[in-house]
């Protein structure tokens, strides 16, 4: 079977789970055409991402001339379809955070996508994230392109379902993927009961590079690592407050913030304000292998998120036999059980976060190793990338029966 994957930006440090999914589908016999709007000139650290960059077709690489040429070609070929897609783009602008000209750009991008797909034999297009990437493939379908599906991760889609027109996207899609039961329930809220069977749970999976890492016992050093983009939803500012609280109580703890992002200047200012320079280290963007090393060098992963889908880094930590400290939000409690695989606490509660961190650094290494073993068993059972890709491939094959390019 020949598929196309369409992503806003690919490859990307935070999108390694998409790469794993694509490679797992190819191991099972599918041919996957990679398509992205941008990312051809972005520096990538990971060797596997570098390889993916060379395999990806970039829609915007030809600039404005390429987009206008694709629109003109579609106008000459199928003017009626173009006019209908133009009206659809106008509807998508209603209640959207982005004004109408953006949606006309999405239509031009859809024309470019369709021009590239002609003659490729692609039977189905899949997009990740329910944002503008899905609008582009939906418009391409309206222009006569293959049917489409998409994966919703959250939390962005759950924050603004009306502005993103989730209902229309779900109704027009052949099927939709949620990465957790919680995610599926949120999609049920925005679409009629007749469309519920379209919504399937396919979990993000881990490849054997994580499962097969030799067991490294939990270190005695009181170090915790938070992996993720430095942004408001991940709760790093609250985390610094908890470290300061523990410091004032005389509880020794080291914190590694593995990642980078728009809030780094504010995080750095708060580290200085609290006098935590000796206790907190920011790594910046690091490769997947470096993430593994940071996790193995820590007692546990701590992720005090305010909003999530189901973070892949939690799966990665559990696969490395590390306990997890995180919040009772979204799909996290479906994977992490309090007292079994780590600690869960209410989002936004700095006192509860500080207490969980104290419990972790004061726990014996034997207790943490036991939690880590249980975490490993849980994630191995529910988040194997090949098993999840097999499920997804079945959905693609069923969907492709609806036909390819018109």
> What does the pLDDT average to over 78-90?
97
Q: Using an 8 Å Cβ cutoff, are 306 and 236 in contact?
A: no
Q: H-helix or E-strand containing 174? A: none
Whole domain around residue 143: which residue ranges?
2-205+385-400
Task: Clarify whether residues 171 and 297 are in a common domain.
Answer: no
Residue 372, helix vs strand vs coil:
helix
Per-residue pLDDT band at 46 (split at 50, 70, 90) = confident
Q: How far apart are CA 400 and CA 31, in angstroms?
A: 13
pLDDT at 157 over 50: yes
Residue 364, helix vs strand vs coil:
coil
Task: Clarify whether residues 132 and 6 are in a common domain.
Answer: yes
Query: Could you tell me if residue 314 is inside a domain?
Result: yes
Task: Clarify whether residues 179 and 307 are in a common domain.
Answer: no
> What does the pLDDT average to over 289-304?
95
Residues 6+ away with beta carbon under 8 Å from 367: none
Query: Could you tell me if residue 406 is inside a domain?
Result: no
Task: Clarify whether residues 154 and 238 are in a common domain.
Answer: no
Task: Clarify whether residues 162 and 213 are in a common domain.
Answer: no
Task: Clarify whether residues 192 and 309 are in a common domain.
Answer: no
Alpha-carbon distance values, 370 to 107, 334, 375 (Å): 53, 19, 9
Q: How far apart are CA 31 and CA 102, in angstroms?
A: 32
pLDDT, the chain, mean: 95
* C-beta atoms surrounding 48 within 10 Å: 18
Task: Clarify whether residues 176 and 224 are in a common domain.
Answer: no
Query: Could you tell me if residue 321 is inside a domain?
Result: yes
* C-beta atoms surrounding 69 within 10 Å: 15
pLDDT at 214 over 90: no
Q: How far apart are CA 259 and CA 234, in angstroms?
A: 11
């Amino acid at each position: 079977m020949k598929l196309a994957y369409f992503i806003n930006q690919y490859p990307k440090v935070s999108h390694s789970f998409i790469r794993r999914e694509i490679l797992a589908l190819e191991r099972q016999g599918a041919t996957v055409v990679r398509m992205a709007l941008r990312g051809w000139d972005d520096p990538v650290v990971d060797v596997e991402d570098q390889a993916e960059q060379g395999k990806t077709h970039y829609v915007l690489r030809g600039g404005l001339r390429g987009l206008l040429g694709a629109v003109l070609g579609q106008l000459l070929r199928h003017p009626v379809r173009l006019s209908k897609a133009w009206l659809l783009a106008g509807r998508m602008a209603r209640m959207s955070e982005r004004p109408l000209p953006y949606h006309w750009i999405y239509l031009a991008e859809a024309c470019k996508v369709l021009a590239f797909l002609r003659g490729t034999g692609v039977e189905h297009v899949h997009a990740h994230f329910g944002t503008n990437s899905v609008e582009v493939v939906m418009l391409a379908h309206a222009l006569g392109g293959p049917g489409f599906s998409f994966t919703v991760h959250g939390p962005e889609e759950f924050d603004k379902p009306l502005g993103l027109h989730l209902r229309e996207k779900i109704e027009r899609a052949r099927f939709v993927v949620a990465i957790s039961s919680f995610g599926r329930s949120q999609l049920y809220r925005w679409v009629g009961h007749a469309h519920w069977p379209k919504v399937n749970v396919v979990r993000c999976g881990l490849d054997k590079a994580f499962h097969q890492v030799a067991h490294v016992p939990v270190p005695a050093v009181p170090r915790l690592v938070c992996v993720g983009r430095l942004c408001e939803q991940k709760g790093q500012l609250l985390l610094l407050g908890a470290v300061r609280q523990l410091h004032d109580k005389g509880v020794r703890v080291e914190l590694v913030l593995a990642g980078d992002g728009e809030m780094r200047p504010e995080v750095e200012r708060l580290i200085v304000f609290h006098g935590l320079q000796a206790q907190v280290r920011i790594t910046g963007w690091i490769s997947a292998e470096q993430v593994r090393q940071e996790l193995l060098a820590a007692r546990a992963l701590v992720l005090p998120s305010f909003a999530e889908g189901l973070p892949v880094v939690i799966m990665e930590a559990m696969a490395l036999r590390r306990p997890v400290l995180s919040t009772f939000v979204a799909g996290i409690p479906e994977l992490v059980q309090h007292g079994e695989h780590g600690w869960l606490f209410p989002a936004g509660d700095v006192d509860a976060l500080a207490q969980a961190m104290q419990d972790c650094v004061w726990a014996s290494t034997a207790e943490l190793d036991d939690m880590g073993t249980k975490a490993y068993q849980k994630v191995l059972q529910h988040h194997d990338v090949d098993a999840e890709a097999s499920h997804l491939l079945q959905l693609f094959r069923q969907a492709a029966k609806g036909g390819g390019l018109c």
